[in-house]
Structure 1
Amino acid sequence: MDATADTAAEISAEIAADTTGTLDEALQRLHASGPERLGRLTNHAPMAVEALAAHGHSGAVHRWLELYAPKLEEYPSAFESITGDDWREALGDPRRAADWIAYFGRELGERPWRDVLATWWPRLLPGMYGGSTHPVIRVGHAVRTLLTSEPGGATEPRVAELAHGLGYWAARHHPVTGIELLPHTHGGTAAAALDAVEPIPDRESGGFPARLGRVAGLPAWAAGVSDPDEAHRGLTELVRAATHRYATHGHGEETMLVHAATAPNAVLRALPALPRTLWAPSLHAAWTASAAVTSMYAPNAPVTYTAPGTFAPEEVFERALAHGDEHVIKFTDTALDVGDERALAAALRAIEISEPLT
């Protein structure tokens, strides 16, 4: 992305150099909690603490978790063991979250994590829209941690976090059907394609699943991409465009529109661990997710936004940490991946319009 190679190396170094074991301790602590609360809201803590560690704030992880703790629920009960023969029957059944996590725990105990990811990515990718895209985002954070653990080897809590992410994704697996690919004549860029997305009718009612069901057509941006390198460039461009767009459109729904950027960025983070043959399908699924979220929560009109000054990336992240909201932290993490001034301004906008964690 626009972030320099040095910045990416610094993130890798921060996670790998977490010699205090804070991230692993936090993940172990969180694995006693379920992936959701109230039957529909996502547990964001594993993603947020990974972002804190990635940006050198391991010392704040447990303090942040104390604030977030009231949002955690007990681990769900098991239903019935999932096997390699009957997994299709359990796909998309949120009651089976514990069963799925246990299944992936066994798989990852027997096979290298990259092999498990490569097997299951194409199975799960069509259903990345379930759980408001949070499952794939959790997997993206887990994969980043595992990649930065190499070549020394991943710790058990980091492998377990991938099992939790994949299990949550399988339990909330939700494909979309019936979306028409519309001719796109407004320019070939991702930014132009997002501008061309038509809002769904009745945007004031319904949660994510209901709104998703009202998405009837999306611009056919990147539909013809099949080359892996072009797919990587397309995903990079999409994440940049969606991040920039938040500054002027985030007020449509300050929390949900974050996912137009963080969901495709999770996919982008996973690409280095995936076979190149999966890169183009990943771009197509990520575009559908980003464009659908844009359609579902579009404001009536954009606003002009000017950042309240110029800030270094680390200063912006410190502001996000002080704010505390989990979506703000994760969106700022993505904005720092993009790394340019407009992306940092978008992160500042998220801080400005979002409710802080108290």
Structure 2
Amino acid sequence: MDTTDTSYTSGHLEEALDRVHASGPEREGWLSNHAPMVVEALTAHGRAGSVHRWLDLYQDKLEDFPDRIAPVTDDNWPSALGDPRRMADWTDYFSRSLAERPWKSVLAEWWPRLLPGLYGGATHTVIRVGHAVRALEAHANAPRLTELAHALGYWAARHQPVTGLVELPGAPTAADSLEVVPAIEPGHVGFRNRLAAVRRLPGWAHDVTDPDTAKERLTELVRAATHRYATHGHGEPTMLVHAATAPNAVLRTLDSLPRDQWVPSLHAAWTASAAVTSMYAPPAPVAYVPPARLTAEEVVERALAHGDEHVIKLTDTALDIGDEQALAAALRSVELSEPLT
């Protein structure tokens, strides 16, 4: 993805973010607002002219911004962490912080605090931050800084750690380690209940201590999880997208973080991807051959025409990888998902 493309600095993204920021980060008490992530992804891939039309279709899924309760401060923030009632308060806190300090300084301070809780909002919290960071790295301005404040605020309010996992033997590669992730017991409904049922996960890449190696292994994980969607996405076409997009959000953020945060970021991303795999993996894979060999541009067009937010975001990740199997995974998501109408 070439963020020097003039479409990425055309002003369309800023207009779309201004529209989105009047809305809250969730609807119906839990479901994430995907609009800021999708409009960033479309703009990043040269489709800035389509963001308002897509937002018009998505508009009915937006709800008003939540009410404020009490200010979050440097002294009382631990008591507000993980409290979804405080979404507006957290957004205000990060808006103030980003007005006073460089955005990378704020991110570096809060990333290690938030990273253990990246499961919040079904991992959409860290995914939204990843999109915001990519936009800022391309061109920093007020609407993009506001988006980072909203994204970090959402993550802080929905902060949800996972503890007590039993580590199982893994495999040398990310792909093989995902293959040995045990599925949770049947009968659990909903992301939070399924997440609570995850008890055992294989370890992977625990021997990594070097930041550059951590980045290489994280890239490997994103590629493996994306490829896997083509043959396993039928297990849950929407939720299994996050096995790839959550670690990719972490990968996108690495270069904006201090290098000493790269290794723990790898470990957190692996656990999240493996947990989602455990929660939604199908009993068996299916062979998948795409109906045609399409270019990356053609795959983007199909995803945009389909319109589903998860299809667009998986396509965005697939284009980061760029190989034929990744593009096949994006096409598979088009086939498995209900279109946005």
TM-score (norm 2): 0.99
Partner of 1:13: 4
Partner of residue 16, structure 2: 26
1:355 aligns with 2:338: yes
- The equivalent residue for 1:249 is 232
1:50-129 equivalences under 5 Å are 50-129=40-119
Q: Secondary structure at the match of 2:215?
A: helix
Match of 2:327 among 341, 344, 347: 344
Structure 1 residue 205: Cα displacement: 2.9
Cα RMSD for the two superposed structures: 0.8
Structure-1 separation of matches of 2:332 and 2:8: 30
Pairwise CA distance, 1:224: 2.0
Q: Is the 8 A contact 2:226 2:329 kept in 1?
A: yes
**Matched residues, number:** 341
Q: Which residue, out of 155, 162, 181, partners 2:141?
A: 155
Pairwise CA distance, 1:19: 4.8
Aligned structure 1 segments of 4 or more residues deviating by more than 3 angstroms: 16-20
Shift of 1:20: 3.7
1:200 to 184, 188, 196: 184
1:118-174 deviation per Cα after TM superposition (whole angstroms, max 9, x unaligned)? 00000000000111000100000000000111xxxx110000000000000000000
Q: 1:178 matched to which residue of 2?
A: 164
Which residue does 1:190 correspond to in 2? 174
Hey, what does 2:35 align to over in structure 1? 45
* Secondary structure of residue in 1 paired with 2:82: coil
For the pair 1:329 / 2:315, whether they are aligned, the reply is no
Give 1:212 deviation, angstroms. 0.6
Q: Is the 8 A contact 2:303 2:312 kept in 1?
A: yes
1:4 corresponds in structure 2 to none
Cα deviation digits, residues 283-318 of structure 1 (max 9, x gap): 000000000000000101110000111111010011
Q: Which residue of 1 aligns with 2:265?
A: 282
Aligned-residue offset at 1:225 = 1.3
Q: Cα distance, 1:206 vs. partner? A: 1.4
Partner SS, residue 201 of structure 2? strand
SS across alignment from 2:71 = coil
Q: Distance in 1 between matches of 2:124 and 2:250?
A: 12
Asked if 1:169 is matched to 2:173, the reply is: no
TM-score (norm: length of structure 1): 0.94
Q: Once the two structures are aligned, what percentage of the paired residues are identical?
A: 67
Is 2:295 aligned against 1:309?
A: no
Cα distance change of structure 1 residues 248 and 169 upon mapping to structure 2, 3 Å threshold: same
User: Which fold has the larger relative contact order, with Cα–Cα distance below 8 Å and residues 6 or more apart in sequence?
Assistant: 1
Structure 2 Cα separation of the partners of residues 107 and 266 of structure 1:
22
Taking the aligned partners of 2:81 and 2:223, their CA distance within structure 1 comes to 32
2:246 to 263, 273, 288: 263
Q: Which amino acid aligns with 1:182?
A: L
Worse-matched range after superposition: 20-29 or 102-111: 20-29
Q: Which runs of 5+ in 1 are unaligned?
A: 1-7
1:314 and 1:201 map into 2 onto residues whose CA distance is 40
Conserved? CA contact 2:226–2:244, under 8 Å: yes
